[in-house]
């Protein structure tokens, strides 16, 4: 499996002070695979996601994305800032609170990565950024500042910003949790399309119906360990573990995805 996998995580450990958040986690994501991480808050799923692009540096274990491999723990040197930056440029991340740059227009937000990190010429970066904005249905918002956009629009800009770096994998950290219910659909639509285009994706989400529909695999975490993992419909429809069943009982697991008001 690990020859074809895009993301390969082995024996990952992370503690914040005395709080052990990840206890020996392993995760494989194949090329073009979509994995949903679900679980109660405090289960470590966001930390795991942040370890994939090393926004959180693990205490032990190994992380491989594509051809880049990192080993952590005793006897290893933590990667330096240049190495980290270069590595993160190959992974895209979308945050719960969007984290758009408020002092830049939508277009400038999307151009920022290509121009500053990849040293792309401004004109080329602008072309690329406009194409990405069009892809998320926001071409006409290019010259507006983020403050003037709705939550759903902000998150779509954030997705365009990540995609402009042409990443190998996309990481979504509760991308719809901060949105008003009627705006969730437009963001999920964009994510679904991205998945169908073959993007490798890891998604931390509470949208169980979305995970069931769009992810190939679901990983259920609790207290820093993987409790259950498998094909998404199998885990969500017929969970084996009692903890998974208890968690899933809080959600509607099936049914149509929330529809976008304005289909991008």
Partner 1 sequence: MYQWDFGILWSYRWLFLNGLGVTVGFTVVIVVCGLLFGLLGAFGSLSRFAGVRLVALAFIEAFRCTPILVQLIWFYYALPILAGVEMTPITASALALSLYGGSFYSEIIRGGIVSIDSGQSEAGAALGMTPGQTMRRIVLPQAIKRMIPALMNQSIIQFKNTSLVSVLAVPDLVYQSQVAAHDSYRPLETYTAVAVAYAAILIPLTIIVRRGEKRLAVSE
134 binds partner 1 (CB under 8 A): no
**How many residues contact partner 1, by CB under 8 A?**
32
**38-46, 121-129, 156-164, 174-182 -> range binding partner 1 (CB under 8 A):** 156-164
Quick one: the chain helix, strand, coil %, rounded to 5? 35, 25, 40
In the list 1, 147, 242, 256, the residue contacting partner 1 (rule: CB under 8 A) is: 147
151 binds partner 1 (CB under 8 A): no
Whole-number Å distance between alpha carbons of 60 and 44: 15
Which residues on adjacent β-strands are paired with residue 71? 62
Strand pairing category for 5-16 and 200-204: unpaired
47 binds partner 1 (CB under 8 A): no
**57-65, 86-94, 124-132, 174-182 -> range binding partner 1 (CB under 8 A):** 86-94
Residue 61, sorted as left (phi over 0), alpha (psi -120 to 50) or beta, turns out to be left
**29-37, 93-101, 246-254, 256-264 -> range binding partner 1 (CB under 8 A):** 93-101
Q: Minimal CA–CA distance to 133: which of 148, 123, 143?
A: 143
Q: Minimal CA–CA distance to 202: which of 24, 31, 86, 68?
A: 31
Contacts with partner 1, residue ranges (CB under 8 A): 53, 55, 81-82, 84-93, 95, 97, 99-103, 112-113, 116-118, 145, 147, 158, 161-162, 165
């Amino acid at each position: 499996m690990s020859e074809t996998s895009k993301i390969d995580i082995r024996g990952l450990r992370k503690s914040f002070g005395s709080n052990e958040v990840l206890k020996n986690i392993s995760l494989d994501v194949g090329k073009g695979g979509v994995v949903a991480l679900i679980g109660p808050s405090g289960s470590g799923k966001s930390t795991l996601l942040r370890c994939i692009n090393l926004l959180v540096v693990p205490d032990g274990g190994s992380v491989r994305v594509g051809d880049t491999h990192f080993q952590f723990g005793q006897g290893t040197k933590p990667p330096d800032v240049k190495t980290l930056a270069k590595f993160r440029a190959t992974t895209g991340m979308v945050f719960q609170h969007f984290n758009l740059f408020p002092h830049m227009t939508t277009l400038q937000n999307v151009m920022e990565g290509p121009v500053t990190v990849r040293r792309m010429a401004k004109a080329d970066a602008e072309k690329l950024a406009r194409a990405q904005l069009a892809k998320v249905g926001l071409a006409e918002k290019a010259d507006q500042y983020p403050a003037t956009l709705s939550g759903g629009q902000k998150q779509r800009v954030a997705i365009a910003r990540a995609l402009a770096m042409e990443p190998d994998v996309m990481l979504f950290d509760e991308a719809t949790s901060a949105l008003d219910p009627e705006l969730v659909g437009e963001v999920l639509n964009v994510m679904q399309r991205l998945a169908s285009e073959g993007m490798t994706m890891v998604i931390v989400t509470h949208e169980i119906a979305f995970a069931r529909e769009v992810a190939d695999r679901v990983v259920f975490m609790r207290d820093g360990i993987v409790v259950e993992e498998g094909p998404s419909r199998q885990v969500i429809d017929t969970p084996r573990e009692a903890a998974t069943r208890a968690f899933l009982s809080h959600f509607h697991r099936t049914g149509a995805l929330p529809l976008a008001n304005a289909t991008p």
